[in-house]
């Protein structure tokens, strides 16, 4: 989707962009509903088919050759200009994002603002690609350099669509690749507007978008032979499917998948207001629908009752309602399937644990029109219960006691996931030592939420939580190939008989 080759979401009810206005008019569209009021249609998105994807791929692949031929410094200048362009209309896009995604407005503002920041950060790093490593010795000269990997598909979820899209798009562009984005069907509008602004500031065809169903548009991208890299954020089962499909054409794949992220609260933790509220935000931001949110809390038995009481009191302050409501502090879940999944898990848990429903409704009269759910705190639950072993991705949190640190580490690591974790203690050195024993791609001390992992540290999962790393030069290098150029004038030492 470039400035003059794509249709954009120019109004709340416009179609999201594809390859050309003519193509957009010929394709069917689908509705985007407001999770806070499912009777309200926020907008529409185009259902891109395989033929549309093929046309976009051909156009982007051609544009990508010229983009990749630029120096990293030159691409950085383009990205800096795009960062300035995308800073426009942030308030409008934040409101739109809350209407289509459901989260409270401040969360949407953080999400939308992240686009410009990601572009600026990667613009600054792009020049590092211009530095080649040269080794000269008695045998000759070897040059090592990073080159663009090729056309890159970025497939993103609905929870933080702008942030997660730019986390893939910005480093891929900095690396010299043309990029095609497939947004989520549940939140395609604000990200499409964001991509329009970026694309308009870049060379023609370098950035495109193909909205539609994952089974059609997403599958067409992942299986296309001209796509050389796939960056996917989403569920583990879908990630496995992408790997299988990408294997047919030996694509490079980066995956940020599910997380069942533990927080370990030691007996030395300071359970003051700051800590309790920090953990509350770690659990319930975006209604619990963030991959690195805390999904289970382990508390030393000597502090368990104190923690449960203080944490429950803080959770009881949460006000659930429309994300645009000034009194709302937690919005609805994003879609009907997710609401049903979390409700079912909560009902199963009630048969074997104490589920305490907290918080209050902002506007009870509108409750039945949205995907609303009050937050819950669960105690008296077994370590092997489904709520503890699964990623709930919703506003319900189990709190379990432990007696020894070995027990806490064992239970924290007893998961197929390994995305993020946290250790909470006033003894920071001890917490850092314990963090080394946790099986997760990122382990935080006395914090655990968006912002805990920044560009100075790599981000990604181990085990079933993904492949590859994001942030900084780690992300850019994931989108490149390492090329070696060698000049060996003296071949006398090569294996085999001498050349005559």
CB-count burial class (<10 Å; 0-12, 13-18, 19+) for 364 = exposed
Contact 188, 210 (CB under 8 A): no
Evaluate if residue 283 carries a pLDDT over 50: yes
β pairing state of 420-424 and 396-402:
unpaired
In a domain, 323, yes or no: yes
pLDDT tens digits, one per residue of 415-455: 999 999 999 999 999 999 999 999 999 999 999 998 888 88
Query: Residue 355, SS3?
Result: strand
pLDDT at 17: 44
CA-CA distance, 48 to 500, in Å (whole number)?
60
Q: What are phi and psi for residue 130, nearest 5 degrees?
A: -80, -10
Evaluate if residue 180 carries a pLDDT over 50: yes
CA-CA distance, 258 to 293, in Å (whole number)?
11
CA–CA–CA angle 346, 347, 349 (5° rounding): 65
Evaluate if residue 16 carries a pLDDT over 50: no
Which tokens belong to 382?
Answer: 């077994």
In a domain, 451, yes or no: no
Evaluate if residue 21 carries a pLDDT over 70: no
Query: Residue 40, SS3?
Result: strand
Look up the CATH number of the domain holding residue 213.
3.40.605.10
CA-CA distance, 250 to 229, in Å (whole number)?
9
Look up the CATH number of the domain holding residue 356.
3.40.309.10
Verify whether residue 256 is a known catalytic residue: yes
Please name the residue ranges forming H helices in 27-49.
Answer: none
From the centroid of its chain, how far is CA 247?
A: 23
CA–CA–CA angle 222, 227, 228 (5° rounding): 105
In a domain, 499, yes or no: no
In a domain, 498, yes or no: no
Same-domain check for residues 275 and 396? yes
Evaluate if residue 260 carries a pLDDT over 90: yes
CA-CA distance, 164 to 179, in Å (whole number)?
14
Structural domain that includes position 228: 21-257+465-484
User: One of 90, 100, 196, 256 is an active-site residue; which one?
Assistant: 256
Which tokens belong to 336?
Answer: 């009907």
In a domain, 16, yes or no: no
CB-count burial class (<10 Å; 0-12, 13-18, 19+) for 404 = exposed
Same-domain check for residues 403 and 472? no
pLDDT at 138: 87
Quote the mean pLDDT of the chain: 94
Percentage above 90 pLDDT, the chain: 91
Same-domain check for residues 249 and 304? no
Contact 132, 118 (CB under 8 A): no
Tell me the pLDDT band of 25, cut-offs 50, 70 and 90. Answer: low
Tell me the pLDDT band of 494, cut-offs 50, 70 and 90. Answer: confident
CA-CA distance, 49 to 43, in Å (whole number)?
19
Evaluate if residue 8 carries a pLDDT over 70: no
pLDDT at 20: 42
Total tally of structural domains belonging to the chain:
2
């Amino acid at each position: 989707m470039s400035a003059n080759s794509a249709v954009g979401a120019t109004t709340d009810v416009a179609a999201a962009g594809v390859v050309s206005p003519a193509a957009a008019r010929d394709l069917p569209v689908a509705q985007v509903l407001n999770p806070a009021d499912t009777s309200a249609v926020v907008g529409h998105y185009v259902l891109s088919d395989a033929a549309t994807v093929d046309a976009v791929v051909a156009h982007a692949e051609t544009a990508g050759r010229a983009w990749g031929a630029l120096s990293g410094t030159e691409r950085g200048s383009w990205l800096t200009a795009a960062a300035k362009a995308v800073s426009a209309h942030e308030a409008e896009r934040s409101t739109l994002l809350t209407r289509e995604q459901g989260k409270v407005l401040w969360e949407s503002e953080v999400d939308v603002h992240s686009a410009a920041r990601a572009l600026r950060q990667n613009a600054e790093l792009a020049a590092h690609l211009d530095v080649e490593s040269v080794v000269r010795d008695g045998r000759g000269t070897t040059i090592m350099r990073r080159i663009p990997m090729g056309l890159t598909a970025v497939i993103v979820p609905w929870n933080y669509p702008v942030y997660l899209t730019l986390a893939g798009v910005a480093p891929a562009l900095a690396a010299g690749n043309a990029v095609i984005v497939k947004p989520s069907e549940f939140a395609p509008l604000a990200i499409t507007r964001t991509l329009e602004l970026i694309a308009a500031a870049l060379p023609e065809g370098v950035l495109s978008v193909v909205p539609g169903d994952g089974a059609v548009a997403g599958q067409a991208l992942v299986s296309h032979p001209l796509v050389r890299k796939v960056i996917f954020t989403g569920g583990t089962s879908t990630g496995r499917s992408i790997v299988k499909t990408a294997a047919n054409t030996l694509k490079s794949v980066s995956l940020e998948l599910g997380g069942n992220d533990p927080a370990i609260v030691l007996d030395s933790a300071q359970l003051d207001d700051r800590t309790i509220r920090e953990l509350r935000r770690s659990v319930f931001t975006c209604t619990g629908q963030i991959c690195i949110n805390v999904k289970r809390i382990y508390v030393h038995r000597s502090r368990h009752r104190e923690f449960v009481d203080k944490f429950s009191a803080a959770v009881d302050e949460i006000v659930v309602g429309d994300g645009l409501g000034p009194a709302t502090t937690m919005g609805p879940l994003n879609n009907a399937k997710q609401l049903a999944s979390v409700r079912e898990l909560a009902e199963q848990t009630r048969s074997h644990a104490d589920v305490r429903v907290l918080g209050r409704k902002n506007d009870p009269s509108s409750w039945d029109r949205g995907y609303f759910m009050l937050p819950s705190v669960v105690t008296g639950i077994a370590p092997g219960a489904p709520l503890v072993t699964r990623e709930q991705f919703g506003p319900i949190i189990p709190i379990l006691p432990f007696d020894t640190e070995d027990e806490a580490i064992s239970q924290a690591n007893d998961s197929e996931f390994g995305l993020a974790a946290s250790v909470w203690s006033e003894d920071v050195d001890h917490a850092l030592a314990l963090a080394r024993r946790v099986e997760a791609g990122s382990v935080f001390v006395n914090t655990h939420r968006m912002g805990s992992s920044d560009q100075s540290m790599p981000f990604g999962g181990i085990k079933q939580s993904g492949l590859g790393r994001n942030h900084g030069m780690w992300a850019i290098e994931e989108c490149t190939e390492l090329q070696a150029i060698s000049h060996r004038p003296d071949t006398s030492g090569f294996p085999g008989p001498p050349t005559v």
